[in-house]
Amino acid sequence: MARVGVDVGGTNTDLVLEANHGVFVHKVPSTPADQSEGVIKGLNELCEIAGVPASEIELIVHGTTVATNITIEHNGADVGMLTSRNFRDILHIGRHKRPFNFSLHFEVPWQNRPMVKRRNRIAITERILPPDGRVETRLDEDEVMDAIALFKKRGIKSVVIGFLFSFLNDAHERRAKEIVEREMPDAYVCCSSEVANVIREYERFSTAAMNGFVGPKTSTYLNNLQKKLSEQGYRAHLRVIQSNGGISTVEACSKQAVNILMSGPAGGVIGGRAEGVLCERPNIITVDVGGTSADISTIPDGQIKIMNPRDSYVSGHPILVPMIDLVTIGAGGGSIAWIDPAGGFHVGPRSAGADPGPACYGRGGTEPTVTDAQVVLGRMDPDRMLGGDFQLDPELSKKAIQDKIASRLNMSVTDAALGIIKVINSNMALAIRSNSVARGVDPREFSLVPFGGAGPLHGVALAEAIYARDVLVPVAPGITAAMGLLQTDMQYEHARSMIASLTNATEASVSAMNDLLDDLQAECRKDLEGDGVPPDRQRYQRIAECRYHGQGFELRAEIPDGAITLANTTAIIDNFHSRHRLDYGYHFDDGEVELITVRVIGTEQVTPLKLPTIERANGAGIDHAVLFTRPTTFDDGQTVDTPRYDRGQLGAGHKVPGPAIVIQHNSTTLVPPGYVADVSDYGNLFVHRTG
Amino acid sequence: MATRELDPITLQVISGALDTIAEEMGHVLYRMSFSSIIRESQDLGAGLFDTEFNTLCESESTPLHIGSIPGYLHGIQASLQGGKWEDGDVIIHNHPYYGASHSPDIAIAIPVYHDGELVGFSANTAHHVDIGAATPGLIIDIPDVYAEGMLFAGTKLYQRGERNEAMWEFIRRNSRASRQLCDDLDAQIASARLGVRRFKELLERYGKDDVLTATNQLMDYTERVLRQRIEAIPDGEYRAEGFLDDDGKNRDAHLPIKVCVRVKGDGIEVDLTGSADQVETGFNVPFEGSTKVACFCAVRSLLLDAHTSEVKVPSNQGSFRPVNVIAPLGSIFNPKFPAAAEARFTQCNRMIDLMYKALAPVLPQAVIAGSSASLSFASYSGIRPEGDYWVFLEVNEGAYGGRPRSDGPDSIDNLMCNTRNNPIEDLAMHLPMICDRYELRDDVMPGAGKFRGGIGVVKAQRMLDTGFITHENERHHDVPWGAFGGTPGQVGRVELYNHADPEGTRHDHYAKFSAIKVAPDDVHVFYGPCGGGFGDPLERPAAQVLDDVLDGFCTEQHARDAYGVIVDLDEEVVDQAATDALRAQMRSSTRPYADMIVTPVIDAANDERPKMAPTPKPADKAPTTSAPAPVAAAANDDLDAVVQRLKASFGEDWSFDILRHSVIGQTVEVHGQLKANGSVARETGRINGGGTGTLGNRLQQAADDSLRRCAERVLADGHGRYAGAAGGDD
């Protein structure tokens, strides 16, 4: 038996296979037109490398950007929407705030690139009233039929239904859905109360509209991949990693495509966490440095943090589904350094991408990038890129930095290159701060985990800038994200709004909460059982999303095990106070705590990937691991002869003293003077100050 | 203070750190606060300031707060309790005649000490729901500033770290929403204290000298960027005027607004002389805290457009320096104490809109057609069964005028306003109100144009119980202007009726009104103004007009009348033959706005309007010598030769001016004018995406190209009678 993780990135598709006889990794170029081609090719090749027949693979976990790309390219389905009369433009008005304060020529994503064109947003007579959800005006079914006739005439195959106050009473949404499904049996149909059963009309409708927009294509892709796999002789279950870091089935992800919008970066965060857990470092900050961007996430105590729903936007649209709390900034190996007309110095967010790429790639790029700076400083060896498969031209790097930066600032090429690195590191460090210090986390208790091919070149500088405890370099930084796919759980979430005071809870409100928790847990159980998860492996986490009465944003508070009683509501309240203090540095003792949404998360514990231990050093020196020695310039401006070590030749317990560069096929780790890298039992590197 | 110049790399690092501090301060403030006006609308500002009250960094929250805090700090200095700052002080301040933006925007300021020395301030401002004014929430028809509620001037909420309980108790007893007020003040204090901590960390990390040097250089940098943009505008005086409905008391007595924008070299002066005298209600604008700030906002949005600029310019004092503002004391934009001056937003937004109208002839590719440029700010309130007040403030959206390259956005916060609306589901779950309608207006059509104006909103709010409504609003009479052949937009409208009998009770109402008492089920309906169109409607592609008709942004009739487009709605296609015929006929007949269709080419030198100063000397204007971009000089080798030839032929007796420039996609054009020895040549320099570097570099290259072409003609002519204009005029 064997398991495979497949992570599709913009440039490469990374794969990792775990079998009884070992862990195998592979990388193939991505096939953006149809990601499944690269996936199948990579799988077939990896099976051959590992000597495992296709039929023996039991589980394939997939990280995919297919849904995200639909939003970026804006090429989803033509969506029709049924919505409440007198409220046709909730999706057009949004929250009426412009993307910029100071601009006249700004774009408005929800108006310029709507997920549902206004012509296809049809107002239907119906009305449900707050605060109890009673029906004031019944659903006009004739109007629904007229709308369906129009959708058919326009060839629409995806329909979303979003009525006001459906979080209080979903009867009208459900009835309209029945009619649409009856009349348009082939259509992709979803209700706002199914996709995000929570208060706030714009965000709920936007989430449903996004599901209708990306759902049909995403579903086609996943089902097509599953079909191709079985044609190739794979009998494995295909699973997909969701934005919340949990995995789910093809069927569930097809129905709730909106749940996998952030599937892409999720694997990396999970992979980083797993390395931390393995090395008994539960407090980590992951930094996944790619060609154009870096994804940063803070993980306190081994717990993935979920983004505040107020912040979860995709391509300018609010999406109310749980997503891993991460920040993405335009900083990567391809980020371009430039000087503006007033003399300001910038690195990124523009990137040279993969084509033409950095100047040293020799593909016609003339603008200096971060990678060019690394080459000029001697930190990347031109002849060692991808194990020497790809030659870099350092003269082109020098010329780009000389022409575009050094001559204009009247400084040496080396100083200009150091400046580029300093600014990119500063940008990344500030983003790390916004995801840690600004959220009440003290980085001094955290290990920084840099990955992506270029990540470990920046690790020590970033750890210094944010005062992190040390740097933990994963075993295979180039494929950490793919490995993360085999480190997470099956996960289903169900949530519903219930507005009630916790401070002034009553027998009636407590009993309603318990009923709701039971309902939500039953829905999770149904999903898990549908996947064949036995009862003894089901786990449930229960969350009260609360705020102080009068506030606008909820924070998550754990609900203790067992039934809620009048007595133990205080535990929920205390959990909320401490969450508030952590996030904002302040809490209100006498503030009335109000419940807004109840959420239940059902998971199945999946056996995590077992990383093999490496051979022990047993007193052997490290000289045998030295490949060669070359001059290298470090952040303090000093250039010193720096040995290159072959990471594969290092044993557990080895200590690599800086200055050093540790090279492996898909990544390079920089160990500056005054630092040392300790090799762990599993081959991870801990880089920290000497002494 | 250190005089050593910091390198651009360190500068960038400190700039990023400052930016992050301001954002973090703003984040804590709006996430922690209770009133929806702060947490949802983000009606707040936060930042760090030096000992001379210069803005070092400021959060991206609402534009009117950005740039107002220095005025507050000057006002605090002038009124400070006990006359001196002390470590541990927390100051509360909102006095409109001591620099405040207006009284509900309360500032919290904390002095920052480093090694025992005052090094700067951490401060923020936020809009509070109720400060105990004459009427709940908002106020309009009030006699003087004392009716605005509690006024704080340099008052210490904490003195040397000790909480001033008497003052807190006083505040608690003087607001209709005292719990919200006090908790939100706590949120402001938490945010300002965070700023203090971060400021100190920054000083410890980089050293005081380097940080202060960096902040000065960053202010200079921002100023330099803005001055470069101003310099590209031809010198001159540009004027526009409009009027306001009334002051909320003296009904239908229109109030003129006159705007003169003087561009001189790399500075701009906004002169509001001739605008209405101050009024006897609260409809006046505090000069320091609002009039000036609105001008800064107008210039920054126009010249440092965050969407089109590649460079994110640091938000600091440097962006205010090139802008001078004049408004005579005793006028609506600079009232005399003790005039009330709380309802001041609309006047500012109208002034900004008029500045753009004034500059339209010289910046046709940068300005936009007339926007709603007003504000709908409503206060709904009532008394709960328990006997305490509830007060809810709502900012309704506006709409933009058509733009040179795109339609005006619909139903969105306009110009200086940028808040978030409150979810209508959330509102109905917490207050005795319900929203009956919220969508785009369909009773009128926005301004037509090659790019249409934005469509205003219609929002109907029903009160479920007795209570009060105050509406700070404008623009029922002065129609948003159409630009360059676009037709004008639409004015706004206010309606009141009772839900039990809508048709029997429906009536129009003035835009602004103070604390009218309402009965259960009374409905207040706001119809937002619609933006004017930009460019000739007949140039709008017929297919796009069809899209508008299908989407309901345009009626079938309006498509025919305004755009000359005939559509077949059954087949959802354009009737091309009929459209071609109708458009041809329309082109040949007289149309109301046709005379505006051609982009006017302004000859800055021969402009009949009064000039500020004589044409600058050649040395000031020739791009080689004034080259604003220190990095661009390298590309100018052949240009130097051209300049040498000009000098050889004409000595110093020649000048080159940039008349206008445009950036469309990858194409950058600069239309310049060379005058030499009585000759005038105008030529367009164009870079078709082939140029390299930043937008600024490409503009410079296009300007150089323009000069080269002009020089060629003038030098070829030799004797100086050439006055042709070719290639560049559209």
DSSP B103-152: TTEEEEEEEEEETTEEEEEEEEEEE-S-SS-SSSS---S-SSGGGG----
Q: Are B682 and B653 in contact (CB under 8 A)?
A: no
Where does the pLDDT of residue B453 fall: very low under 50, low under 70, confident under 90, or very high at 90 and above?
very high
Closest Cα in chain A, distance from residue B316 (Å): 14
Range list of H helices, B385-446? 424-430
Asked whether the bond before B520 is cis by omega within 30 degrees of 0, the reply is no
Place of tokens 């209570």: B467
Find the mean pLDDT for residues B170-194.
93
Residues B87, A202: Cα–Cα separation, whole Å: 46
Interchain CB contacts (distance < 8 Å): A and B: 241
Residues A282, A31: Cα–Cα separation, whole Å: 36
Q: Are B604 and B234 in contact (CB under 8 A)?
A: yes
Closest CA to A56 of A48, A64, A65: A48
**Nearest CB to A98: which of B412, B630, B694?**
B412
Is residue A669 scored above 60 in pLDDT?
Answer: yes
Is residue A38 scored above 90 in pLDDT?
Answer: yes
| Cβ neighbours of residue A288 closer than 8 Å, sequence gap 6 or more | A265, A268, A269, A272, A294, A295, A296, A451, A452, A455, A480, A481
Find the mean pLDDT for residues B495-507.
96
Do A551 and B66 count as a contact with CB atoms less than 8 A apart? no
Find the mean pLDDT for residues A615-632.
91
CA dihedral of residues B698, B615, B299, B400 (deg, nearest 10): -80
Residues B507, B497: Cα–Cα separation, whole Å: 7
Is residue A637 scored above 80 in pLDDT?
Answer: yes
Do A340 and B7 count as a contact with CB atoms less than 8 A apart? no
Chain B residues lying within 8 Å of A202, measured CB to CB: 423
| Cβ neighbours of residue A376 closer than 8 Å, sequence gap 6 or more | A394, A397, A398, A401, A413, A414, A417
In the predicted model, what is the mean pLDDT of chain A? 92
Q: What is the pLDDT of residue A12?
A: 83
Q: Which residues pair with B264 in a beta bridge?
A: B267
**Span A524-566, pLDDT tens digits:** 999 899 878 899 999 999 999 999 887 777 899 999 999 999 9
| Cβ neighbours of residue B590 closer than 8 Å, sequence gap 6 or more | none
Chain B residues lying within 8 Å of A408, measured CB to CB: 630-631, 634
Do B439 and A86 count as a contact with CB atoms less than 8 A apart? yes
Phi-psi region of A263 (alpha: psi -120 to 50; beta: other; left: phi over 0): alpha
Residues B159, B85: Cα–Cα separation, whole Å: 9
Q: Given the DSSP bridges, would you call strands A2-8 and A57-63 parallel, antiparallel or unpaired?
A: parallel
Residues across chain B: 730
CA angle B163/B62/A204 to nearest 5° reads 105
Q: Are B492 and B560 in contact (CB under 8 A)?
A: no
Instruction: Give the mutation candidate from B32, B36, B295, B349 for the A interface (greatest A CB count, under 10 A).
Output: B32
Q: What is the pLDDT of residue B594?
A: 56
| Cβ neighbours of residue B392 closer than 8 Å, sequence gap 6 or more | B36, B129, B137, B379, B380, B381, B422, B427, B431, B433
Q: Are B487 and B537 in contact (CB under 8 A)?
A: yes
Closest Cα in chain A, distance from residue B3 (Å): 19
Q: Are A334 and A369 in contact (CB under 8 A)?
A: yes
Residues A507, A505: Cα–Cα separation, whole Å: 7
Within 13 A of B331's CA, how many CA atoms are on the CB side? Answer: 18
User: Chain B 467-506, CB below 8 Å of chain A: which residues?
Assistant: none
Is residue B603 scored above 70 in pLDDT?
Answer: no
3-state secondary structure B512-532: CEEEEEECCCEEEEEECCECC
**Span B225-247, pLDDT tens digits:** 999 999 999 999 999 999 999 99
Higher-confidence residue of A9 and A221: namely: A221
Residues B122, B110: Cα–Cα separation, whole Å: 5
Q: Does B190 touch chain A (CB under 8 A)?
A: yes
Residues A93, A82: Cα–Cα separation, whole Å: 17
Higher-confidence residue of A303 and B719: namely: A303
Residues A174, B599: Cα–Cα separation, whole Å: 55
Q: Which residues pair with A238 in a beta bridge?
A: A60
Q: Does B507 touch chain A (CB under 8 A)?
A: no
| Cβ neighbours of residue A379 closer than 8 Å, sequence gap 6 or more | A457, A632, A633, A661, A668, A670
Higher-confidence residue of B513 and B309: namely: B513
Quick one: DSSP state of residue B261?
E
Chain A residues lying within 8 Å of B441, measured CB to CB: none
What residue type is B682 in one-letter code? R
CA angle A462/A465/A470 to nearest 5° reads 60
| Cβ neighbours of residue B106 closer than 8 Å, sequence gap 6 or more | B92, B93, B94, B125, B126, B128, B131, B152, B185, B188
Where does the pLDDT of residue B663 fall: very low under 50, low under 70, confident under 90, or very high at 90 and above?
low
**Span A117-169, pLDDT tens digits:** 999 999 999 999 999 999 999 999 999 999 999 999 999 999 999 999 999 99
What distance lies between CA B14 and its chain's CA centroid?
A: 27
Do A343 and B8 count as a contact with CB atoms less than 8 A apart? yes
| Number of Cβ atoms within 10 Å of the Cβ of B173 | 9
**Span A449-503, pLDDT tens digits:** 999 988 999 999 999 999 999 999 999 998 999 999 998 888 888 999 899 999 9
Residues B314, B22: Cα–Cα separation, whole Å: 11
Quick one: DSSP state of residue A120?
G
Closest CA to B681 of B729, B624, B611, B637: B729
Q: What is the pLDDT of residue B655?
A: 80
In the predicted model, what is the mean pLDDT of chain B? 87
**Nearest CB to A107: which of B31, B32, B307?**
B307
Quick one: DSSP state of residue A406?
I
First vs last C-alpha separation in chain A: 45
- Max Cα-Cα span within chain A: 83
Q: Are A15 and A5 in contact (CB under 8 A)?
A: yes
Residue A437: φ, ψ to 5°: -55, -45
Please give the sequence-ordered ranges of beta strands (E in DSSP) within B384-527, or none if there are none.
389-396, 433-440, 457-463, 467-472, 493-498, 507-509, 513-518, 522-527
Higher-confidence residue of B63 and A446: namely: A446
Residue in B with minimal Cα distance to A416 = B9
Residues B510, B376: Cα–Cα separation, whole Å: 12
The mean-pLDDT minimum among A573-587, B180-194, B548-562, B697-711 falls in B697-711
Residues across chain A: 691
Number of H helices, E strands in chain B: 17, 25
Q: What is the pLDDT of residue B724?
A: 37
**Nearest CB to B304: which of A102, A407, A591?**
A102
Q: What is the pLDDT of residue B599?
A: 38
Residues A620, A613: Cα–Cα separation, whole Å: 17
Q: Given the DSSP bridges, would you call strands B376-383 and B389-396 parallel, antiparallel or unpaired?
A: antiparallel
Quick one: DSSP state of residue A567?
T
**Span B689-717, pLDDT tens digits:** 655 566 666 777 888 888 888 888 888 76
| Number of Cβ atoms within 10 Å of the Cβ of A318 | 22
Find the mean pLDDT for residues A246-253.
92
Q: What is the pLDDT of residue B666?
A: 64
Q: What is the pLDDT of residue B662?
A: 66
Chain B residues lying within 8 Å of A88, measured CB to CB: 439-440
Residues A67, A405: Cα–Cα separation, whole Å: 39
CA angle A524/A529/A531 to nearest 5° reads 105
Closest CA to B124 of B48, B220, B176, B184: B48
DSSP string, A282-317: --EEEEEE-SS-EEEEEEGGGPPPBPPGGG-EETTE
